Chain A
Amino acid sequence: MKVYFDKTKETTELEASTVKELLDKLKLNPETVLITKNNELLTENESLNKKDEIKILSVISGG
């Protein structure tokens, strides 16, 4: 699946069966990101499939 991360502005190809597995592969703490598919939020338990296009938003902001 295609995974876009707004912090690095990069898109990568990855395989993962759940959001949790995806975050583990990317070494991302679930507290620091929102995971979206078609502009909808996904929880860590959500299943993923190969054709999904995922956008990861870093929640760290401000300053």
Chain B
Amino acid sequence: MACKNCETKPVIILPNSAVSHCKQCFFKYFEKKVNKVINQYKLIEEEDHIGVAVSGGKDSTTLLYLLNKHIKKRRGIKLSAIAIDEGIQGYRDKSLDFIKKFCKEQEVDLKIFSYEKEFGKSLDNIMKTFKGVPCSVCGVFRRNILNKKAKELNFTKLATGHNLDDEAQTILMNYFRRNIKASSRLGPITGVLKTRDFVKRIKPLYFLTEKEIATYAFLKGFMDEFNECPYSKDSYRNRLREVINDFDNKYPGTKYNIIYSFLEILPLLKSEYKNELNYCKTCGEPCSRPKCKSCEYVETLIKP
């Protein structure tokens, strides 16, 4: 089956619509989807200083490239990149080398912050004694540094590479774990509170699948293989990813339906759960409990 638009050799068949695209038509389709979500949800506004959370993976690399392209067409918007070095030898060191080079090519300022310096231990060292799930502690620490540093660097918004697959997995994870309140904080733009203490998050890749992003990154020549974090292999999220992908393969459109059904009920969730902010008694960062999870982990895992 040739490309839907120009009858040339296709590079992808979109599973949801069975439409074939050649390289150039796929780029147009992809970039149009990103621009549409930016405009529809007002992800980027005048005077914004967007911080892009980058890791050197396909999602955040693609995001940085596209936002850099997007802001060149608009005036008064600043773009910077921020990366977290969790301290995962053989994985993060390589991806950080890549993203440093990529940011230089894109002429985007990059700041890197590490767990070692911010919390006193790398993830590799934490995992020598911690018997729990690595993704839980890692996610808490990452979000803590990102919010803290985003404020210090005067970012008005923090852009993340979350894609349609990530969001569909999170929606189901929250459902399966009876944590619907957490889902009220999802969507293409989050943290819309009248406070500067929590930097708004934007997800311009919200309606693109992991496969579409990998295809784009590959065809643009950003990378020719996609590495997985060595700690994420047995996670709950990975199990759900398999289940959703199996379902989507058998019943095309499942992933989109999870997202669109969720977006229909999101306004109701937002009105039900007002998400009033508290502040951590130890570090002063916004959180939902008297002490933030990050400080709890520091006390139990790093300075017991």
* Partner-B contacts on A (CB < 8 A): 6-7, 29-32, 34, 36, 39-41, 43-45, 57-63
Contact = CB atoms under 8 A, between A and B. Distances in A.
Nearest to B12: A43
A31 B249 contact: yes
A17 to B, nearest CB: 17
A32 B1 contact: no
Interface residues of B, number: 37
Given A30-B249, A34-B215, A34-B218, A60 B210 contact: yes
Given A60-B210, A62-B59, A62-B229, A43 B20 contact: yes
Given A29-B249, A34-B218, A61 B59 contact: yes
Q: Which 9 A-B pairs have the closest CB atoms?
A: A63-B229, A63-B232, A59-B214, A61-B226, A62-B57, A41-B11, A61-B57, A31-B245, A29-B245
Contacts of A39: 224
A27 to B, nearest CB: 11
A58 B249 contact: no
A59 B1 contact: no
A30 B228 contact: no
A42 to B, nearest CB: 8
A40 B218 CA distance: 9
Contacts, number: 81
B231 interface: yes
Nearest to B21: A43
A29 B229 contact: no
A60 B248 contact: no
A57 B226 contact: yes
B10 interface: yes
Contacts of B13: 43-45
Contacts of A45: 1, 13
Contacts of B224: 39, 57
B80 interface: no
Interface string B206-228: 00011101110011000011111
A59 B229 contact: no
A40 B219 CA distance: 8
Contacts of B227: 61
Contacts of A40: 11
A49 B39 CA distance: 46
Given A32-B245, A61-B228, A62-B55, A43 B211 contact: no
A34 B226 CA distance: 10
B1 A29 contact: no
A43 B10 contact: yes
Contacts of A44: 13
A20 B257 CA distance: 25
B15 interface: yes
